[in-house]
């Protein structure tokens, strides 16, 4: 009986994924976006100021020209009423996504403690697993709604309702059973604005989040962070929900980056964002770097891998035991147990460089 239910559920899930994929193909969605890589020494400070982002090229900006009001209240965006610009960034080695959100609104609506609030709704599916991820889209329609919520909602993709701004409440609603992901050490946020509810003005917001391949209701103990690497595509999407009347029962616009309204609960409707390599202006012409792996601890054999940057003509490895190699990726067997200082020297048309690691390589 349990196996039949599981098989039926998997079949329904497969059908939903297939339908989502074919819908996107039918729409000929070809847009792709870029995620800027900050150098490790220029990571933005989360203070609500945009100055740290001045080095990000304009080509990384996603503006109103990429959004459409799928509530069909507006044919085109009027930047005199609402103008939003978003930049996304990352840092190699950190599983974080950084955002700069800059917006002008002719009526900022944020006095209520609940959902009635100007909102930046963000969907994150970093491993591009796709498919539904909210309770009411669960493929098993016989499942109790709260059971679906705690076991499914926001687990493999996440939805953030980010309040712009948040006054007297948390900076975001994590729509799912994992509210812990909006707190440090998994997220941080800051605003800068000078207006009151009902007034016009400009808002600047900085925040970073941690994407998860698995984020369950049980908390971070079993969570699996999404691993971010250069040239990887991740799934992102967002909508700007614009309220223009504190007494209105609904919003005055749902400005969607996706062509599908239900992107808020189906990650198949997210868009590809590419994690870009570090731009050459932030690098030296030649940078030595390497990694290693113990192949056989009994034989003390170690594989060394060159991970240097630039045009390289020669390599020389000093293994720290009075032996060396000129191979690019050598395998070395140590005769004696111990801790070793290993150094890689590289040369090329634009200079030379070295990288030593002190006592990283230890064999016994």
pLDDT tens by residue, the chain, 364 residues:
343 344 334 434 554 444 444 344 435 789 999 999 999 999 999 999 999 999 999 999 999 999 999 999 999 999 999 999 999 999 999 999 999 999 999 999 999 999 999 999 999 999 999 999 999 999 999 999 999 999 999 999 999 999 999 999 999 999 999 999 999 999 999 999 999 999 999 999 999 999 999 999 999 999 999 999 999 999 999 999 999 999 998 999 999 999 999 999 999 999 999 999 999 999 999 999 999 999 999 999 999 999 999 999 999 999 999 999 999 999 999 999 999 999 999 999 999 999 999 999 999 9
The residue assigned the tokens 């609940």 is 114
Report DSSP letters for 247-293, one per residue.
T-SS-S-EEESSS-GGGGTBGGG-EEEEEPPPPGGGS-S-B--EEEE
Residues 204 and 265 in one domain: yes
Does residue 8 lie in a domain region? no
Q: How far apart are CA 277 and CA 92, in angstroms?
A: 9
What's the residue count for the chain? Answer: 364
Q: How far apart are CA 234 and CA 339, in angstroms?
A: 40
Q: How far apart are CA 209 and CA 182, in angstroms?
A: 7
Count of alpha carbons within 13 angstroms of residue 84, beta-carbon side: 27
* Residue 206 near residue 162 (C-beta atoms within 8 A): no
My answer on whether omega of the bond before 22 falls inside 30° of 0, hence cis, is no
Q: How far apart are CA 85 and CA 343, in angstroms?
A: 46
Q: Which alpha helices (H) appear in 50-92, and where do they start and end?
A: none
Rounded to two decimals, what is the model's pTM? 0.89
Residues 355 and 230 in one domain: no
Residues 118 and 100 in one domain: yes
Instruction: Please give the span between the terminal C-alpha atoms of the chain, in angstroms, as a whole number.
Output: 54
For the chain, what is the domain count? 2
Q: Please identify, among 275, 297, 312, the residue that sits at the C-terminal boundary of a domain.
A: 275
Count H helices and E strands in the chain, helices first.
2, 21
* Residue 292 near residue 334 (C-beta atoms within 8 A): no
Residues 183 and 81 in one domain: yes
Residues 119 and 175 in one domain: yes
Here the tokens at position 50 are: 């945009």
Does residue 270 lie in a domain region? yes
Domain that holds residue 46: 16-275
Residues 69 and 217 in one domain: yes
Residues 126 and 230 in one domain: yes
Q: How far apart are CA 51 and CA 45, in angstroms?
A: 9
Query: CB neighbours of 76 closer than 8 A, spacing ≥ 6?
Result: none
Here the tokens at position 124 are: 């994150």
DSSP 8-state code for residue 179: G
Does residue 2 lie in a domain region? no
Residues 271 and 296 in one domain: no
Q: How far apart are CA 334 and CA 254, in angstroms?
A: 64
Element containing residue 201 per DSSP (H, E): strand 201-209
Residues 313 and 227 in one domain: no
Does residue 11 lie in a domain region? no
Q: Are strands 201-209 and 82-90 parallel, antiparallel or unpaired?
A: unpaired
Query: CB neighbours of 351 closer than 8 A, spacing ≥ 6?
Result: 285, 286
Residues 239 and 293 in one domain: no
DSSP 8-state code for residue 26: H
Residues 215 and 254 in one domain: yes
Here the tokens at position 19 are: 């339908």
Q: Which alpha helices (H) appear in 107-225, and where do they start and end?
A: 145-152
Residues 312 and 208 in one domain: no
Does residue 170 lie in a domain region? yes
């Amino acid at each position: 009986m349990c196996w039949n239910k599981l098989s039926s559920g998997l079949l329904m899930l497969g059908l939903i994924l297939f339908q989502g994929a074919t819908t996107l193909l039918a729409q000929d969605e070809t847009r792709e976006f870029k995620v800027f890589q900050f150098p490790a020494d220029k990571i933005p400070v989360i203070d609500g100021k945009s100055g740290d982002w001045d080095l990000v090229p304009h080509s990384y900006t996603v503006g109103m020209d990429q959004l459409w009001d799928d509530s069909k209240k507006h044919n085109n965006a009027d930047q005199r009423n609402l103008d939003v610009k978003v930049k996304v960034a990352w840092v190699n080695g950190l599983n974080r996504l950084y955002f700069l959100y800059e917006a002008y609104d002719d009526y900022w609506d944020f006095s209520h403690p609940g959902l009635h609030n100007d909102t930046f709704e963000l969907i994150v599916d970093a491993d591009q697993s796709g498919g539904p991820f909210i309770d009411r889209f669960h493929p098993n329609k016989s499942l109790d709604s709260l059971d679906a919520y705690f076991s499914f909602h926001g687990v493999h993709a996440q939805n953030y309702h980010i309040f712009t701004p948040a006054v007297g409440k948390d900076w975001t609603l994590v729509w799912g059973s994992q509210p812990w992901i909006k707190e440090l050490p998994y997220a941080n946020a800051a605003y800068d604005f000078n207006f009151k509810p009902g007034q016009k003005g400009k808002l600047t917001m900085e925040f970073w989040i941690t994407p998860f391949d698995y984020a369950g209701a049980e908390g971070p103990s079993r969570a699996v962070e999404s691993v971010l690497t250069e040239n990887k595509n991740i799934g992102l999407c967002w909508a700007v929900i614009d309220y223009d009347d504190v007494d209105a029962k609904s919003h005055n616009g749902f400005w969607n980056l996706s062509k599908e309204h239900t992107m808020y609960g189906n990650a198949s409707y997210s868009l590809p964002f590419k994690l870009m390599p570090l731009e050459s202006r932030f690098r030296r012409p030649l940078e030595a770097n390497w990694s290693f792996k113990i192949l056989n601890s009994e034989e003390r054999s170690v594989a060394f891998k060159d991970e240097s940057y630039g045009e390289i003509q020669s390599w020389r490895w000093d293994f720290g035991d009075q032996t060396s190699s000129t191979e690019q990726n050598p395998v070395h067997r140590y005769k004696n147990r111990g801790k070793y200082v290993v150094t890689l020297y590289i040369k090329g048309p634009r200079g030379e460089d070295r990288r030593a690691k002190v006592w990283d390589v230890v064999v016994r």
